[in-house]
């Protein structure tokens, strides 16, 4: 499994970067003067987590097209 991660580190970094871009601005919105409902924040965190997990596994376990062809 570590060999797969080493081969696909760029894709994993891209997914992690997108996740951080979505998640990190949310806690700072009140500091910028925006009123954020706590239930909305909870929903965003739950949905983002649920969506992130399958894509992370997809990035790790996706088949290499070069090896798939006979």
pLDDT per residue, tens digit, the chain (70 aa), is 677 777 788 888 888 877 777 777 776 677 778 888 888 778 878 888 888 888 888 878 876 666 655 5
- How confident is the model at residue 66, as a pLDDT? 64
- How confident is the model at residue 68, as a pLDDT? 58
Give the separation between CA 30 and CA 22, rounded to whole angstroms. Answer: 16
36, 26 in Cβ contact below 8 A? yes
Instruction: Give the ranges where 1-70 is alpha helix by DSSP (H).
Output: 2-7, 9-23, 25-28, 38-61, 65-68
- How confident is the model at residue 29, as a pLDDT? 74
């Amino acid at each position: 499994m570590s060999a797969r991660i080493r081969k696909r580190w760029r894709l994993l970094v891209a997914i992690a970067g997108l996740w951080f871009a979505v998640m990190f601005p949310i806690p700072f919105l009140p500091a910028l003067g925006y009123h954020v409902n706590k239930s909305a924040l909870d929903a965003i965190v739950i949905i983002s987590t649920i969506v992130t997990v399958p894509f992370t596994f997809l990035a790790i376990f996706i088949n290499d097209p070069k090896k798939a062809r006979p």
